[in-house]
Amino acid sequence: MAGITAKMVKELRDLTGSGMMDCKKALVAVDGDISKAADWLRENGILKAQKKSSRVAAEGLVRMDFNEDHTKAAMVEVNSETDFVSKNEEFVQFVERLAKQALDKVENTIEDFLEGDLDGAKVKEVLTDKIARIGENMNIRRFSKMEDDGVKYIGYIHGGGRIGAIVGLKTEALWNEIEPVGKDIAMQIASMAPKFVSAADVAADWIEKEKEILREAVIHEGKKPEIADKIVDGKIQKELKEVCLTEQSFVKDSDKSVKQYVAEAAEELGKSIEIVSMERYEVGEGLEKKEEDFAAEVAAQINK
């Protein structure tokens, strides 16, 4: 990098909005000519990708991966701008590869994950290349890994990848022996979106906050403060049955709770089964989505 100064890198960065390392690489490639370096960035798809990175990516896919005996699991969400791209085979394969990466590697933060090696290149560099090749902004939003002694993991993907759910079952059974039960519970998590595994997992401050909100609502309805607490206690118990997985009505048989379903399945199998953990991703949850009608979207693509 002889002759390439920090000032030159900053100038190219200010000019193109590209990352520092990309600017360095471009300047080295063209012997320090800033104008040619900007062209180099564009020719290599990097500048194109940088411009796309400002666009909202709230569609995408969830994918998961497991080791052979299902004692380890991982899940990843990768966002794209449109639902069209989420069905692109190259994009699908990329997300599936990232799920395997999350399972196999040791990164704990999304920043470390992006810096990790993926088939000889950094994950973030592969992502930049995919943005340039596919033509839409993409974002590796989050990933999770699950591994605990004595726990087997079963997953379920809904809607082609819009929702993913993994449940951790503590058991001595082999994963394929509990797969049907695990699939049912993962489907329950996907459809009912519980906040907690059981009432024992509910944080005390969450309960206190809910009580506070409910009490204000009850008093606002005209109830006397001296009876408000009794009403709130009843409402809290009802709410816990909605937000706790084990207390929810089982979606396949509303006459029993999830806890009862698991107990019956364990008795039939002859081996104990306990729900101990869960993870649920829904594509774009919490992100602001750009609203466009189909005609406008097609027109936007034509006018690029």
Task: Let me know whether 160 and 105 are in one domain.
Answer: no
Among 123-132, 170-179, 294-303, whose mean pLDDT is lowest? 294-303
Burial of 149 from C-beta contacts in 10 A (0-12 / 13-18 / 19+) = exposed
CA distance 270 to 173: 9
What residues does 282 pair with on adjacent strands? 163
Q: How confident is the model at residue 49 (pLDDT cuts 50, 70, 90)?
A: low
Residue ending a domain, among 110, 130, 147, is 147
Q: What single-letter DSSP state applies at residue 290? A: P
- Considering the domain architecture, whether residues 133 and 72 belong to the same structural domain is answered as yes
Q: What six digits make up the tokens of 209?
A: 């906050």
Asked if the structure places residue 239 within a domain, the reply is no
- Tell me, yes or no, whether 209 lies in a domain: no
Q: CA 162, 286, 64: angle at the middle one, nearest 5?
A: 35
**pLDDT computed for residue 203 by the predictor:** 84
Identity of the amino acid at 285? E
Query: CA-to-CA distance for 240 and 198, rounded, in angstroms?
Result: 9
Nearest to 169 by CA among 149, 187, 188: 149
Domain count within the chain: 3
pLDDT tens sequence across 55-90: 555 789 999 999 999 999 999 999 988 888 888 899
Instruction: Give the confidence band of 271 by pLDDT, cuts at 50, 70, 90.
Output: very high
- Residue 67 is assigned to a structural domain of this protein: yes
18 shares its domain with 45 = yes
Mark out the alpha helices in the chain (DSSP H runs): 6-16, 20-29, 34-43, 46-52, 83-86, 89-104, 110-115, 123-134, 175-192, 204-220, 225-243, 258-269, 294-302
Residues 157 and 284 in one domain: yes
Residues comprising the chain, all counted = 304
- Domain containing residue 34: CATH number: 1.10.8.10
Query: By residue range, what is the domain housing residue 13?
Result: 6-52
Q: What is the pLDDT of residue 289?
A: 55
Q: Kindly state the greatest CA–CA separation across the chain.
A: 80
Mean pLDDT of the chain: 86
pTM: 0.74
CA distances from 218 to 86, 142, 210, 227 (A): 45, 38, 12, 9
Q: What is the pLDDT of residue 115?
A: 93
Average pLDDT on 151-172 reads: 96
Residues 64 and 188 in one domain: no
User: Domain for residue 281, yes or no?
Assistant: yes
Which of 113-117, 162-166, 223-227 is least confident?
223-227
Do 72 and 136 fall within a single domain? yes
Percent of the chain exceeding pLDDT 70 equals: 86
Residues 277 and 171 in one domain: yes
pLDDT for 122 equals 92
Q: Are residues 131 and 175 both part of a single domain?
A: no
154 and 182 assigned to the same domain: yes
Q: In 3D, which of 156, 155, 178, 149 has the Cα closest to residue 266?
A: 178
Residue 266 belongs to a domain: yes
Radius of gyration of the chain (CA): 25
Could you tell me if 112 and 137 lie in one domain? yes
Tokens 């992006």 — which residue? 114
- Closest C-alpha among 96, 57, 128, 85 to residue 283: 57
Residue 216 falls inside a structural domain: no
- Is the pLDDT at 303 greater than 80, yes or no? no
pLDDT tens across 117-140, in order? Answer: 998 999 999 998 888 888 788 899
Is the pLDDT at 54 greater than 70, yes or no? no
Q: Is residue 302 part of a domain?
A: no
Shared domain for 36 and 64, answered yes or no, is: no
- 304 falls within a domain: no
For residue 267, what are the CA distances in angstroms to 131, 178, 271? 51, 12, 7
Per-residue pLDDT at 55: 53
171, 130, 129: which is closest to 154 by C-alpha?
A: 171
The Cα–Cα gap between 222 and 232 comes to 14
| CATH number for 136 | 3.30.479.20
116 DSSP assignment: S
